[in-house]
């Protein structure tokens, strides 16, 4: 007897045993790239000398860097379109929509595996896929037909009962999971949802929940493929691609949770972590300066429609910026067909492009010392583009209510405050399908078109046998990839230029870091950093490993790691050391020099390693848990060297 997750894994298993913690290799059916990470993937495919890709479906989306403030983004878009044609990817043009949304509309299939160079790729699990986000190098390898290697997760079974009350939606359900388990509670797990409560959750509701399973640190999240899934595919004109995929009767889970949807209330994540969740009523009354609707975390037609009906015939305050980001061109066209766009615009909404936009700090930065309410998945410090931001995460209902009152408002209060009845949404049987901004692969041999900002990937040397390097930065818990390499309009256009983007390494934590790293090169052959728990949570962007590596980072010592960040370090030849004794973090200070001897032999044999604190005669025992395959990758200085030699 198997649950859904086990069925998906066993049907794609190439190597390894399905025992939690073991490295397994999976066959990948589909791959997904977005422009902020896809440029590196295409350069990596060029470095592999690849002629054509192997998965059934591969799509390059342009959804992150849509602002054309100078030539860089547009140059990259042209490069990506040429690379998509060169290697055999579908190409989703700028403005067509967020990758996860368009992929679910057009390409997602129950029972298939999907690997994406975006951490919110698990959104595909909402229609019964095994969808995993990872670093670009892993996706490049999968594009070349290689298995995807990951540690076999445990399976957390989440039984849903009841039905969501009025004014409460799927975002509140996943915020409840974050309230219970915070940003690390899902690490090492697949979150699988089942139970009678599923009947009331649409495919897009499920997308919301699987999307933000990433914020719990989960490997992925999975729903069964049932009649709800079938109805979604029928709506998209793809019913013939439906298969039934449900857990066997009596299937078990490694950990069990139960949530009664009927008992949920409106929730909100406070600054500056998705796990900092409280009921909306606890913070109601705080003045709001910005409300942003739309993202991969609330992308469905219903999510925009319900906001339009709540604000219909009313206007938001002139002191508040009301921003609407349609999640896809198809959603935008259907909002027009349903006469739901007019009420938003009449209420004062600023209509933006279909894409990620403010979620990744590409525009829509809030004002200093003001509150921004967003229906987005993340609120890490400074991610919005404002270093001292105050970003709250909430449902569309809470966002709409707060836009009308100019303060954080429990949406249930609208019935008495403004005499608004909860709008009742009926899932349409037919919608308008939008395909005109998708370019199919045509098998043409195309030259890569590279603008002046697109640079060849740097070469890296093999692992040294002896290291004597300083600790250039000491950090605490929950350091995100936004902290390691900031997002935003000044940084993301440099994604294909490693020398330039490296200038922003650890900028959000220490603005002097780049200058100190350059000075360090005059005295030492590298450096390391240390951190607390959950290092490199958040985005899958491998720039957060590649840029530090380019500046000379040799390894990280942390108490623990987020999964994708841990994999990206290995892929670029850096050792993800962990403190054997967590208390040793307190013994090390920024500026201390560590010495490690006989390192290659130790790594090759997976022996214990001790770092000696130079001048203080203190030994720091270190651990690391890597597979034999990863040993070879680290010894050779990273995956690119490994593949070339292989």
pLDDT tens per residue across span 270-322: 998 999 999 999 999 999 999 999 998 999 999 999 999 999 999 998 999 99
Tens of pLDDT, residues 260-272: 999 999 999 999 8
Do 322 and 350 form a contact (C-beta atoms < 8 A)?
Answer: yes
**Average pLDDT of the chain, as a whole number:** 93
When comparing pLDDT for 202 and 74, which is higher? 202
The pLDDT of residue 380 is 83
Tens of pLDDT, residues 342-367: 999 999 999 988 888 778 777 787 88
Query: How far, in Å, CA of 504 to CA of 546, rounded?
Result: 12
Q: Of 121, 132, 116, 122, which Cα lies nearest the Cα of 60?
A: 116
List of residues 6+ apart from 75 with CB closer than 8 A:
450, 451, 452, 453, 454
CA-to-CA dists, residue 187 to 92, 119, 541, 568, angstroms: 32, 14, 18, 16
128 CB-contact burial (10 Å; exposed 0-12 / middle 13-18 / buried 19+): buried
Q: What are the residue boundaries of the structural domains of the chain, listed by start?
A: 4-263, 267-417, 467-645
Q: Cis ω on the peptide bond leading into residue 272 (within 30° of 0)?
A: yes
- pLDDT class of 616 with cuts at 50, 70, 90: confident
Residue 645 has pLDDT above 80, yes or no: no
Q: Of 95, 141, 117, which Cα lies nearest the Cα of 37?
A: 117
Residue 452 has pLDDT above 90, yes or no: no
4-263: CATH architecture: 2-Layer Sandwich (3.30)
Residue 355 has φ and ψ, to the nearest 5°, of 170, -170
User: Could you give the residue ranges of the DSSP H alpha helices within 20-159?
Assistant: 35-47, 71-87, 99-106, 136-143
Please tell me the number of Cα atoms within 13 Å of 167 on its side-chain side. 21
Q: Of 543, 451, 554, 638, which Cα lies nearest the Cα of 47?
A: 638
Residue 97 has φ and ψ, to the nearest 5°, of 135, 175
**Cα four-point dihedral sign 411, 415, 420, 424:** positive
Query: How far, in Å, CA of 429 to CA of 234, rounded?
Result: 8
Please tell me the number of Cα atoms within 13 Å of 205 on its side-chain side. 19
Query: How far, in Å, CA of 53 to CA of 44, rounded?
Result: 13
CATH class name, domain 267-417: alpha beta
List of residues 6+ apart from 514 with CB closer than 8 A:
502, 503, 504, 505, 506, 507, 551
Identical fold, 4-263 and 467-645: no
CATH class name, domain 467-645: alpha beta
Do 319 and 407 form a contact (C-beta atoms < 8 A)?
Answer: no
């Amino acid at each position: 007897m198997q649950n859904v997750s086990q069925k998906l894994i066993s049907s794609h298993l190439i190597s390894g045993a399905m025992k939690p913690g073991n490295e397994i290799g999976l066959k990948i059916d589909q791959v997904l790239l977005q422009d902020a990470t896809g440029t590196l993937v295409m350069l990596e495919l060029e470095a592999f000398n690849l002629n054509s890709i192997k998965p059934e479906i591969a799509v390059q989306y342009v959804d992150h860097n849509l602002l054309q403030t100078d030539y860089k983004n547009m140059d990259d878009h042209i490069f990506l379109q040429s690379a998509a044609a060169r290697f055999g990817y579908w190409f989703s043009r700028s403005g067509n929509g967020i990758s996860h949304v368009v992929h679910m509309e057009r390409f997602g299939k129950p029972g298939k595996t999907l690997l994406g160079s975006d951490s919110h790729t698990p959104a595909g699990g909402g229609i019964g896929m095994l969808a995993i986000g990872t670093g670009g190098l892993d996706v490049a390898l999968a594009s070349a037909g290689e298995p995807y290697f990951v540690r076999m997760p445990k399976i957390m079974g989440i039984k849903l009962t009841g039905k969501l009350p009025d004014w409460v939606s799927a975002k509140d359900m996943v915020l409840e999971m974050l309230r219970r388990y915070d940003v690390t509670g899902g690490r090492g797990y697949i979150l699988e949802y089942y139970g009678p409560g599923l009947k009331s959750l649409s495919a897009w509701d499920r997308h919301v929940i699987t999307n933000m399973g990433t914020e719990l640190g989960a490997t992925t999240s999975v729903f069964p493929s049932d009649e709800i899934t079938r109805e979604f595919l029928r709506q998209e004109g793809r019913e013939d691609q439906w298969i039934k995929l449900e857990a066997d009767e009596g299937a078990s889970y490694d950990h069990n949770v139960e949530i009664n949807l009927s008992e949920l209330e409106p929730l909100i994540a406070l600054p500056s972590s998705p796990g900092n969740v409280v009921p909306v009523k606890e913070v109601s009354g705080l003045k709001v300066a910005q409300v942003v609707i739309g993202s991969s975390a609330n992308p469905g037609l219903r999510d925009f429609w319900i906001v339009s009906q709540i604000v219909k015939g009313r206007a938001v305050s002139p002191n508040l910026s009301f921003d609407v980001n349609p999640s896809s061109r198809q959603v935008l066209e259907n909002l027009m067909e349903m006469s739901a766009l007019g009420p938003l615009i009449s209420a004062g909404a600023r209509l933006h492009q279909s894409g990620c936009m403010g979620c990744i700090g590409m525009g829509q930065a809030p004002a200093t010392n003001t509150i921004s309410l967003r229906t987005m998945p993340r609120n890490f410090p400074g991610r919005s583009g404002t270093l001292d931001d105050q970003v709250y995460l909430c449902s569309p209902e809470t966002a709409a209510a707060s836009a009308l009152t100019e303060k954080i408002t429990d949406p249930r209060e609208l019935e008495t405050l403004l005499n608004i009845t909860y709008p009742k949404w009926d899932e349409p049987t037919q919608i308008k399908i939008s395909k005109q901004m998708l370019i199919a692969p045509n098998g043409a041999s195309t030259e890569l078109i590279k603008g002046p900002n697109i640079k060849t990937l740097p070469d890296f040397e093999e692992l040294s046998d002896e290291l004597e390097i300083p600790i250039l930065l000491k950090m605490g818990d929950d350091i995100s990839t936004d902290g390691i390499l900031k997002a935003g309009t000044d940084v993301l256009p440099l994604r294909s230029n490693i020398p330039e983007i490296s200038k922003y390494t650890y900028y959000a934590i220490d603005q002097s870091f780049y200058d100190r790293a350059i000075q360090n090169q005059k005295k030492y052959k590298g450096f390391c950093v240390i951190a607390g728990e959950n290092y490199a949570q958040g985005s899958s962007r491998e720039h957060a490993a590649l840029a530090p590596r380019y500046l000379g980072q040799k390894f990280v010592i942390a108490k623990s790691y987020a999964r994708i960040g841990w994999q990206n370090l290995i892929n670029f030849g850096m050792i993800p050391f962990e403190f054997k004794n967590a208390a040793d973090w307190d013994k090390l200070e920024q500026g201390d020099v560590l010495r490690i001897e006989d390192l290659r032999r130790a790594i090759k044999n997976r022996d214990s390693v001790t770092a000696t604190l130079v001048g203080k005669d203190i030994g720091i025992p270190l651990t690391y848990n890597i597979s034999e395959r990863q040993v070879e990758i680290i010894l050779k200085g990273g995956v690119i060297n490994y593949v070339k030699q292989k």
